[in-house]
Structure 1
Amino acid sequence: MIDTGTGSGHTSTTVAERIADWVTALRFDDLPAEVVERTKLVILDQLGVQLLGASLPNVQPVLRLAEGQGGMPEATLAHSGALTTVSRAAWVNGTLGHSCEYDDAHALGWHTASAVVPAALALAERDGASGSEVIAAVAAGIQVMALLGAVTAGMVTTGWHGSKVLGVFGAAAAAGVVLKLSAPEIVNAFGIAASDAGGTMEYDQSGGEVKRLHAGSASRSGLEAAELARLGLTGPPTIFEGHRGIFRLFGGTTSVAALDAAWDRWHVLDTIFRFYPAVGTVHAPLDAVRHLRETHDIKPADIEKIRVGLVDFAVGHGAAITRPTDAISAQFSLAFGTGLQFVTGHNDPADYLDAARWADPEILAVGDLVEPYAMPIPDGDPAFSAKVDIILRDGTALSHYQAGFRGHPSHPATAADIESKFRENTRGLITGEHADALVAAVETLETCDTVRSVTTLLGINH
């Protein structure tokens, strides 16, 4: 169990105070070794996606805007290596980190690293904070997002994007650790950040690359909230459980029972690493499709029908789009991802950003055979599970049930898996020697007096 000091039997008045007390008391030495190692892997994975993201066409408007605005040289932008303000670095790097649906995910905290890591690294680079302080900050930010997400899990049904709603608080907590804010200042930072909590998920119905901004804007808002709190700006201390607070507005409740129950563990250990550049709800189906396709050597011409059983909310969040019109709609399309599997044999990031692929008649023809439906997930299995039945034209019926997926805590990613993904994401962008140096810098981050050993390597021309 995690020793929070403020779990059951707490004496603080508000939820914000309880969480702030824990955040300000946290020290690197409090982190178990497995938490330290997992947090470093989260950071490495996020940096690899940032570097890849900067090369992608869908977020070029963000880079062009940032280049045009300039700013004080305080923190490094991934890929270009240019220096800008901490706020702009958090915004840009967070957007890059969420640019291609390849960053990590979390059952309670949604997409944590792309909101938390950019804020922590930017401030640490500017202020000379140590690597161990950044590790503690990232672990704290992820913990906060998961704790709050335990209460607001129902927001997905009303169309709120948890990465943006929760990300502002995770970034504020991480920034508070780096800035060494007091507990009252972190309470104010939460109250300030709450005004930027939001972000709709209509993109998972009809597309729109604006979704990529949700992580970056959350990172920037949380960072700025912490800086504003340090300068004396205030926010409501009942921002979470109050009548007009986050829990009621996004979770439909003012009960803190779910939050109390979630104090029992380090939530960074529940990080989901994505090995398909697609929404998390389609990973188990794609794993199942891959298993059946490879085991039985199924060709597209053999298929009569593909039935996919999913948890109820996944039918609308990952299975609603059948005709992609942009990268985000391709990445949220179970039909498109399944078509890619059969036609290309893989699900590479480049395929999801290739307009020719979106209209490929072979891919779409396979996608048209996909019939998603809601099914009850067996007790004890992850919500992100799926059953795939492929009926062939000769009448053969093939079936595979996938409980969780590779990268999910039920099938945890190894350090080698995550390093391999990092190298794949950065291949062609940086040299092998450069990749080696960046991997080594993150692996030894807790020994570094400053994080500049990492941030100076983020530029591709290093």
Structure 2
Amino acid sequence: MTAEKTLAQWLVTTRFEDLPPQAVEQMKLLVKTIIGTTVAGATAEGCAEVIDQVRDWSGKPEATILIHGGHKVPAHNAVLANSIMARALDICDGMAPGIHIGTSVVPVALAMAETTGGCSGEEFITALALGCELTARISAIAEYDGFDPTGTGTVFGATAVAGRLLGLDATQMHHALALAFNRAAGSFQSNIDGSLAVRFIQGFVSQNGVSCAQLAKRGITGPDNYITGLYGYYHLFCKDKRDDATLVDDLGSRWNMYQMGFKSAPSCGCTIAPTDLILQLVRQHPVDASNVEQIDITVGPPIYNLTGHDFVVGDNPTVNAQFNIQYCVANGLLRKAAKLEHFDPAQVTDPAVLALTKRIKVHCDNSRITETTLVITTRDGQVYRAETSGPSGFPPFPLSEEQHRERFEDNMGYGGKPLPAESVDALLTLVAELEKVDDVRSLVPLLVAN
């Protein structure tokens, strides 16, 4: 059986009972996390505009636009809006080399549950786990070289989730993924230039996932050899390096998605290790920003290329800050934290922060990947140094239960459309025992603000 058909067969035959307990718990944590990020991002820049557009498009009332009043629209447009909100503040899940999965698969799963007349918590979790694992595997074989891993990798996971909850058979699932291959797109230039396209790519991924699954259910076909063919995924996104072992071996027993992390700061994963180090040093030493001569940060090429450029405020200051080491380190030194509000435009453009970024230099060491070193040199001759092998929140440095709780509470308290306290309590109760929920549609009314 080909790699493509092996994946399709696995996606439609795996049962909840086949999932290890760790996978189940990870999916419940992912759902809770994305609920929080969606509430936090509901009024972020670009979200009201896309919601207005989706409402203008109108159409069959299949799935709910979350948070904003409960209006129903076609599923592929609902997930466009919901995923943009979930990703907007970049305080979501992530995985090397910069792929975001939960902010698509969770909104897609909720929308498909509504569209199909409901599904059990067990089936919901199973679909999420399969979509996450497929994405993790297809991303692990890639050499993106500037392609956005979310746009070119998560689209397969979103399609798998939609297809699973639509009840596709193996042939239909195969063609849904093959159609998704033809929708794989996105560039990290969006991140470097600080554009809203970063969060919109997440929405496009979800929209394409639903559309591809729906089209395949109606018999629309895609290329059989979308991974292994002459112009397939291996050629376009892996530089012709074939790795069937990583892609399809040990399906169901080896779970690449365990490498998923949950961010400790509301910024690109590439900025989190430098943020960790500056916060570590200001806790350990009485560092006054006015006494800093220079801060030097050394990172590997993937991190440098995406977030090591000089900080410049553009049309979308929040996005500029989210994807810039200089800003994140200056913010950490001055404010002794990395909070959601620190990425609001007014705080990003604070003259004190902007001045400090000019004394921060980012260097590239080609021998590194995630290893990061930060050195503070003061005007009175003191030198403070810290280093780490990787960012907090990601393996092998996961967040604690307390840190997850604090992050969820921060997210739920941020933004302009908070949920009623009783809704939050009910959501937490349902998610804690999600596998026992008869119909996950019961979550949706709780995800609408007053």
Scaled by the length of structure 2, the TM-score of the pair is 0.94
- Asked if the contact 1:423–1:435 (Cα under 8 Å) also holds between the matched residues in 2, the reply is no
**Is 2:323 the partner of 1:332?**
yes
Higher mean C-alpha displacement, 252-261 vs 287-296: 252-261
Runs of 4+ in structure 1 off by over 6 angstroms are: none
> 2:139 — aligned with what?
149
Q: CA deviation at 1:108?
A: 5.5
* In structure 1, distance between residues paired with 2:402 and 2:421: 16
Q: CA deviation at 1:193?
A: 1.1
Q: Residue 348 of structure 2 is aligned with which of 358, 373, 395? A: 358
**Alpha-carbon displacement from aligned partner over 1:324-349 (angstroms, at most 9, x marks no partner):** 22221111111111111122222222
Q: Structure 1 residues 321 and 116 mapped into 2: Cα distance closer, same or farther (>3 Å)?
A: farther
Ranges in structure 2 where 5+ consecutive residues have no aligned partner: none
Alignment of 1:264-279 (within 5 A): 265-279=254-268
How many residue pairs get aligned? The number is 441
* In structure 1, distance between residues paired with 2:8 and 2:82: 26
* In structure 2, distance between residues paired with 1:109 and 1:205: 13
Higher mean C-alpha displacement, 79-88 vs 187-196: 79-88
> 1:420 — aligned with what?
406
Q: CA deviation at 1:204?
A: 2.7
* In structure 2, distance between residues paired with 1:319 and 1:108: 16
> 1:132 — aligned with what?
122
Cα root mean square deviation, aligned: 1.8
- Asked if the contact 1:419–1:439 (Cα under 8 Å) also holds between the matched residues in 2, the reply is no
Scaled by the length of structure 1, the TM-score of the pair is 0.91
Q: CA deviation at 1:399?
A: 0.6
Ranges in structure 1 where 5+ consecutive residues have no aligned partner: 1-11
**Alpha-carbon displacement from aligned partner over 1:351-381 (angstroms, at most 9, x marks no partner):** 3132x33332210122111111123667xxx
Q: Structure 1 residues 75 and 171 mapped into 2: Cα distance closer, same or farther (>3 Å)?
A: same
> 1:384 — aligned with what?
370
Q: Residue 76 of structure 1 is aligned with which of 43, 64, 77? A: 64
> 1:302 — aligned with what?
291
Q: Structure 1 residues 453 and 297 mapped into 2: Cα distance closer, same or farther (>3 Å)?
A: farther
> 1:41 — aligned with what?
29
Q: Which amino acid aligns with 1:119?
A: V
Q: Residue 386 of structure 2 is aligned with which of 400, 406, 409? A: 400
Q: Structure 1 residues 302 and 265 mapped into 2: Cα distance closer, same or farther (>3 Å)?
A: farther
> 1:227 — aligned with what?
214
Q: CA deviation at 1:254?
A: 4.5
2:198 match: secondary structure = helix
> 1:437 — aligned with what?
426
Q: Which amino acid aligns with 1:420?
A: E
Q: CA deviation at 1:262?
A: 8.0
**Is 2:61 the partner of 1:61?**
no
Q: Structure 1 residues 282 and 261 mapped into 2: Cα distance closer, same or farther (>3 Å)?
A: farther
* In structure 1, distance between residues paired with 2:97 and 2:186: 17
> 1:281 — aligned with what?
270
Q: Residue 176 of structure 1 is aligned with which of 152, 163, 169? A: 163
Q: Which amino acid aligns with 1:391?
A: T
> 1:200 — aligned with what?
187
- Asked if the contact 2:98–2:269 (Cα under 8 Å) also holds between the matched residues in 1, the reply is no
2:182 match: secondary structure = helix
1:317 match: secondary structure = helix
- Between the aligned residues of both structures, percent identity stands at 28
